[in-house]
Amino acid sequence: MTRLKAVTERPDQTRPLRILLVGLATALGATAAAAQKSEPGAASDVRAQIVSLHTATLSSEMAGRIDSVATRVGDHFRKGEVLVTFDCTVPRAQLARAQAVVTQMARTFEINRRAVEQRSTGQLELDIAAADVLKAKADLTGAEAVASKCTIAAPFAGVTVEQKAQEFEYATPGQPMLDVLDDRALEVELSAPSRWLGSLKPGAPFQVKIDDTGKTYSGQITRLGGRVEPGSQSVRAIGAITGDPSGLMAGMSGRVIVTPP
Residue 123 belongs to domain with CATH number: 1.10.287.470
Structural domain boundaries enclosing 240: 42-53+183-258
In a domain, residue 254? The reply is yes
Q: Please give the pLDDT value at position 24.
A: 41
pLDDT at 72: 95
Q: Which residues of the chain have pLDDT under 50?
A: 1-10, 17, 19-25, 27-43
Question: Are 145 and 188 found together in one domain?
Answer: no
Against a cut of 0.75, is the pTM above it? no
Q: How many domains does the chain have?
A: 2
Question: Would you list the DSSP string of 139-167?
Answer: HHHHHHHHHHTTEEE-SSSEEEEEE---T
Q: Which amino acid is at 92?
A: R
Q: Report if residue 81 sits inside a domain.
A: no
- 171 lies in a domain? no
Q: Any idea what the CATH number is for the domain that residue 248 is in?
A: 2.40.30.170
Q: Would residue 131 count as lying in a domain? A: yes
